[in-house]
Amino acid sequence: MPGTNLTREEAQERARLLTVDSYEIELDISGAQEGAATFRSVTTVRFRAAEAGDTFADLIAPAVHEVTLNGESLDPAAVFADSRIALRGLSQGPQELRVVADCAYTNTGEGLHRFVDPVDDQAYLYTQFEVPDARRVFTTFEQPDLKATFQFTVRAPEGWTVISNSPPDFVRGDPHTPQPSDNLWRFAPTPRISTYITALIAGPYHSVHSSWEGEGRSVPLGIYCRPSLAEHLDADAIFEVTRQGFDWFQEKFDYPYPFEKYDQLFVPEFNAGAMENAGAVTIRDQYVFRSKVTDAAYEGRAETILHELAHMWFGDLVTMEWWNDLWLNESFATYTSVACQAHAPGSRWPHAWTSFANQMKTWAYRQDQLPSTHPIMAPIRDLDDVLVNFDGITYAKGASVLKQLVAYVGMDEFFQGVRAYFKRHEWGNTRLSDLLGALEETSGRDLKAWSKAWLETAGINVLRPEPTCAEDGTLTGLAIRQEAPALPAGAAGEPTLRPHRVGVGFYDLVDGKLVRTDSVELDVDGELTQVPLPRQRKRPDVLLLNDGDHTYAKVRLDPESLANVTRHLGDFADPLPRALCWASAWDMTRDAELPARSYLDLVLSGIGKESDIGVVQSLQRQVKLALDLYAAPDWRETGLTRWAEAALEQLRAAAPGSDHQLAWARAFAAAARTDAQLDLVSGLLEGSETLEGLTVDTELRWAFLGRLAATGKADEARIGAELERDATSAGERHAAAARAARPTPEAKAEAWRAVVESDALPNAVQEAVISGFVQTDQRDLLAPYTERYFAAVKDVWEQRSHEMAQQVAIGLYPALQVRPETLEATDAWLASAEPGAALRRLVTESRAGVERALRAQAADEAAGAAG
């Protein structure tokens, strides 16, 4: 039986047979406030069959009451089973299917999610349908290439606001047309779109409205959040970024915004960052900042806003035919969102490519070295495949490759191709060849070989400089060696040497700063490429490959450059080359080429000079990870002590009230370990200790308290008192994490029962409990749970929804137990449990992390022995 899965072959056959015209969907959510478990869903879908035959519609529902096909009543018990409604004996031509069902509210962030705000005791609903969850709310043909129009009619509780893809379709004064005051909301039909980007958001939401004006058109803009967050909603800043995106995208795409309005809805307990529902984007409401955050957080939020706005064209107007071309949506949205930040007039983040290099590409490099590495254009056999494929390759590697393509063909030519693509395929579905064809036409380049090398193969290349010098120090030659390391064990494909568009930067120390004194840009192809030297000159202090970050490759420094970077990394005059060197050093640490203790030395020597707050925060996370996982166990405590002392020193030295001060306050809290350090954290929390300019607000209080709980310095009473002070849903999550973090067998057993032995927790609280449960200082306490994980994970996977099961499968894997026995236990489970492909992939990825950590720990131990 198919369960809730759908294969590509099934989708292709259904698309061959059917053309879907329209959906009319009636939902009765009037019982949502009172806590009803289900809601009535009535779907009428009109479609056409190309020939006589059998097919099926999709629905996940506790009860189906009526199924009517072309006026004939069918027995639900006979035709509805296993998430499918069998449609047998279709004749050629028009068809009409009507289904009446009771569908279920969820607390998992899938389908129609219901959340009750503890502040006002009001219910708030939103839908999340990507990949296959519209079928949890109405009857569908759940695949992206069966587009149709959608008209929603919704009965809601008194006083609620309902938002969907289209504006409400009320005719004032018409007694036959439902009015908002009747609690019945009818929406205008959408254009032809895919099921997964339809949306419904309902509840007593707070809203702010404005508009975008341009090209003789006014597009209504709305921002929504719960009333309990309204005081924190910085709507003007969100509107500013949104309008910037409208201006830049309309110019670059030369295609009018495709929908009638643009709402952004900050919703609770959202699993992802955001979702590109057509005209009604849902965004996790942690982006409504309750407390002070650094500018990096605002930059990250802006990238998310722009990413989803770009999807209105990439993904919503033109949609991939099947999920193997998911990158057509995600890579383009990622690339264009960062490009907008970097190039749009008046942007607050002109150095957005620095953040991209330091964060997004690091994510891609990590993903591309796992056993699950795959081509950007990934082979997707079924829905189970795509559900685990929203990864660093699909988003970040794809965007990196597009950035290189832009450098290769030119930005103007690139966007000319994009414009042709939109006009040619508006409201339709596409494959890779459709986009490449448009780009080839406008660029004049043959992209077939480029596509095969970059989009259709897996793995990552390494670029190394090979300079030659005369005895007097004159640089006489420079070559770039390209390597294609073997793919990880279990990965499909062969190592591939690829063409790269590469900048080479020549940096010299001038008045204490590393500045670019020469540069060359060239195409690299094959194993060895000679670099034309810009002039006769001495060897530079630093030779930096991929200067400008055009290509996607791991970059190494030659020994002299590495020595100079180690002494002067913080002295680069520009932020991007600094970020590239930081990223290279981190990758070397992960690859066991740079010992963890040496990485700590490098960071401590340069982080105090790093001005980019996003880079600072990335380095803080990476140092902590290196010490927790990659340091030799007998030296780990020494390294963690050094880091805690350095974090406190940086905190005291930071400018009062600055982003750096806030970042270092959080880093110090996470690192504090001695009684004196923890007493300072406690004093800052209680107010008996102060630092000039540091406001210990709600979120920072929870950061302090979480560390105190994890070290046994805060008990249940202290956690409860803080929750009473912050009696919000965010407070509930923080309290759940703090309780699970306590270093006692009882706290761990309680957390395990709540997550593994019960399915009552909502998604956001479950995630918080898991994060608290896994504490790097508690390896011995957590060791017994390795066996319990393998005993439980398959049952959890088979019994829970995808999002809830994935949290458990990834979050509770014994990643801290870095020893051969963990690998052996994993291998034994993989051999005996026979997990499905999706669960096997997640566990195998986690296993690879332990294997990598063992190699890094061995390298660090060897460095210590060498003295």
Phi, psi of 212 (to 5 degrees): -110, 130
Strands 429-430 and 319-320: parallel
Phi, psi of 167 (to 5 degrees): -65, 160
Q: Are 143 and 14 in contact (CB under 8 A)?
A: yes
Residue 42 CB contacts under 8 Å (≥ 6 apart), including other chains: 25, 26, 27, 98, 99, 100, 101
Q: Please give the Cα distance from 160 to 156 (Å, whole number).
A: 7
CB atoms within 10 A of CB 413: 17
SS3 assignment, position 723: helix
Residue 524 CB contacts under 8 Å (≥ 6 apart), including other chains: 463, 480, 482, 499, 500, 501, 502, 551
CB atoms within 10 A of CB 434: 18
CA nearest to 74, candidates 50, 100, 52: 100
Alpha carbon 137 to its chain's center: 25
Angle at 253 between CA 546 and CA 197, to 5 degrees: 100
Q: Are 83 and 58 in contact (CB under 8 A)?
A: yes
Active-site pick, 110, 299, 308, 767: 308
Q: Are 124 and 269 in contact (CB under 8 A)?
A: no
**Gap between the terminal Cα atoms of the chain:** 61
Q: Are 164 and 257 in contact (CB under 8 A)?
A: no
Q: What is the 3-state secondary structure (H, E, C) of 487-516?
A: CCCCCCCCCCCCCEEEEEEEEEEECCEEEE
CB atoms within 10 A of CB 24: 17
Tokens 């806030």 belong to residue: 662
Cα separations in angstroms, 157 against 36, 596, 821, 867: 12, 57, 56, 71
Cα separations in angstroms, 108 against 115, 272, 286, 335, 801: 10, 12, 17, 30, 8
Q: Please give the Cα distance from 297 to 287 (Å, whole number).
A: 8
Residue 121 in tokens? 């005791």
Sign of the torsion formed by the C-alpha atoms of 367, 370, 372 and 376: positive
CA nearest to 801, candidates 107, 322, 115, 40: 107
For this structure, is 692 an active site residue? no
Q: Please give the Cα distance from 477 to 14 (Å, whole number).
A: 60
* SS percent in the chain: helix, strand, coil, step 5: 45, 20, 30
CA nearest to 408, candidates 367, 451, 362: 451
Tokens 């306590």 belong to residue: 742
Q: Please give the Cα distance from 599 to 409 (Å, whole number).
A: 37
Residues counted in the chain = 867
Residue 539 in tokens? 């060897």
Sign of the torsion formed by the C-alpha atoms of 394, 399, 400 and 401: positive
Q: Please give the Cα distance from 61 to 368 (Å, whole number).
A: 38
Q: Please give the Cα distance from 436 to 438 (Å, whole number).
A: 5
Residue 415 in tokens? 């966007």
Catalytic residues: 308
